[in-house]
Amino acid sequence: MTLVINAGTYSENVMGRSLARGTPSRPIRVQTSGRVVVEGLVRIDDADYWDISGLNVTWPVSGNSDDHLVKLTGGTGWTFRDAEVWGAKSFAGVLVAGAASHYTLRGLYVHDTASTNGRNQDHLIYVNSTSGPGLVERNLLVGSPNGRAVKVGGAALADVVSDVVIDRNTMVDNLGPSNIQVSGATSSVTISNNIMVRPDQGRNAITAFKLTGTNIVASGNVVWQAAGVSDPEVVDLGGNVQLNPEFGPGFVPGAAAAKGAGYRAP
């Protein structure tokens, strides 16, 4: 089944609940005909084998700072991809919650969250799903002055979040305080082939907060204008380098040594 959304700007909240369920052989696809922008909060629950592409979302005229701009709860086998999400004045631009499994965030441009909540609490992508596996890949994540590009951790430090791969993303100017942070009982997170530039001054690109989980590993990442690659709780598997990616338009690296990393990597 394919659902097509006509081009336009829609000033409304989207509540996708009690959804029909796809299957691996018969997924449900959401596509757009031209550029679609939702000026409102998007809630999608239990989207089993849904493939949602091109659904751009920005903050509504009025909204609650205790909320999330796009919230994807539960479901298995779903993908949210190829969209722009920006201007959140809330805890996250994109939140993955509940018991989501075999999910993918791909090809997103998430940017410019406002400093709205307490210190370091306004993220671009926030993964606190207590299931997995999950994949965050080939996204451009720019401009969270009070949060991380990607935060992985439960709503409570004792919550177990695991089996997350963060691969080939480009992250710039995420100052609250790092590009990626893992926290609490989070375990089994692979951080690979990302470009991470300008976390908060004096901080590593990858940070850990009260981490009790294990098997957090990093490899092949390119880091610049940071104190270092990662906090000591993260296992360095090699290939992580500190060098100027020499960005051109669209944060595409010009440095030869950086071209195998980031959202535009081959």
R_g of the chain, CA atoms, integer Å: 17
Residue type, 94: V
**Which pLDDT belongs to residue 6?**
96
pTM: 0.96
Q: For residues 81 and 249, what is the distance between their CA atoms, to the nearest angstrom?
A: 22
- Profile the chain (266 residues) by mean pLDDT over runs of 10 residues: 94 86 94 95 96 96 85 97 97 96 98 94 95 95 97 89 97 97 96 98 97 97 98 96 97 96 96
**Which pLDDT belongs to residue 195?**
98
pLDDT tens digits for 80-135?
Answer: 999 999 999 999 999 999 999 999 999 999 999 999 999 999 999 999 998 889 99
Residue 29: name the closest of 57, 49, 9 by CA.
49
What domains, with CATH codes, occur in the chain?
Answer: 2-258 (2.160.20.10)
**Which pLDDT belongs to residue 90?**
93
Q: For residues 165 and 191, what is the distance between their CA atoms, to the nearest angstrom?
A: 6
- Residue pair 192/222 in contact by the 8 Å Cβ criterion: no
Q: For residues 167 and 29, what is the distance between their CA atoms, to the nearest angstrom?
A: 24
